Amino acid sequence: HRVLTSLNHGFRSGYSCETLLLVTFHDFMKAFDAGLQTDIAILDFSKAFDTVPHNKLSSKMGEYGIRGQLNNWLNMFLTQRKMKVVVEGEQSEEVKVDSGVPQGTVLGLLLF
């Protein structure tokens, strides 16, 4: 379904920030050598995974054709999460996670 662009260098085997920088620098220099205007915009999505609203994500999944039981299952995967903090063996109370997609999961990147 080609959900992720081939230009994505994150979360892919053999790709990294370094490979993205190499490709970007190569393309930048190629355009510069051809006398073309060269611009670059770099965005930092800090905490982006933590701030995805579940209701908007559910709606967007519907737009991509993810409906019915699969949409319900994914919504439960997102909304039925709790977290707690552990510091030096001491645990906080559990709290419900109201937004965001789980980081470090296969679905996390796709849902983001």
Residue 97: pLDDT band (50, 70, 90) is confident
> Domain for residue 47, yes or no?
no
67 and 104 housed in the same domain = yes
**pTM, to two decimals:** 0.53
For residues 64 and 31, membership in a common domain is answered with no
Res. 93 pLDDT band, cuts 50 70 90: very high
73, 80 contact by CB (below 8 A): no
Same domain for 103 and 63, yes or no, is: yes
List pLDDT tens digits, range 31-77.
999 999 988 887 777 677 788 888 888 888 889 898 999 989 988 88
Cα–Cα distances (Å) from 16 to 24, 46, 50, 65, in that order, read: 12, 17, 22, 30
How crowded is residue 78: how many other Cβ atoms within 10 Å of its Cβ?
21
